[in-house]
Amino acid sequence: MTTTPELDWFKSSYSGSSGDNCVEVAVQPNVVHIRDSTDTRIGSLTVSRQAWSAFTSELGWHKSSYSGSEGDNCVEVAIRPHAVHIRDSKDTGTGQLAIPHAAWADFVAQL
């Protein structure tokens, strides 16, 4: 485990508002850091991008927590071993954008 307070962490959209199931992730070009958001003092688990991609590819597409419930601003993301895929969740058949992991990490760091 490593302690990495300088990272830009984001909370999983699957984390409950009652304080349970709270996971935060910080994405870097070559590694992904995962920690329990209920106690960030205990450090984080660091895995390779390939390991993270393999894990999340089993989960499929993920709708952005920033997407509105009215059907607007709907973006889904699928992290795969060689690229991050982004698509419009309102019309999944119109194609998708694939970008390198480093570009995705740079984008997420700006949120």
35-62 confidence digits (pLDDT tens): 888 888 888 899 988 887 777 666 678 7
First to last CA, the chain: 25
Helix (H) or strand (E) holding 49: helix 49-57
Pick the closest to residue 65 from 8, 9, 14 (CA basis).
14
Helix (H) or strand (E) holding 2: none
Cβ contact 84:77 at 8 Å: yes
C-alpha–C-alpha distance, residues 56 and 52, integer Å: 6
Q: In terms of pTM, does the model score above 0.85? A: no
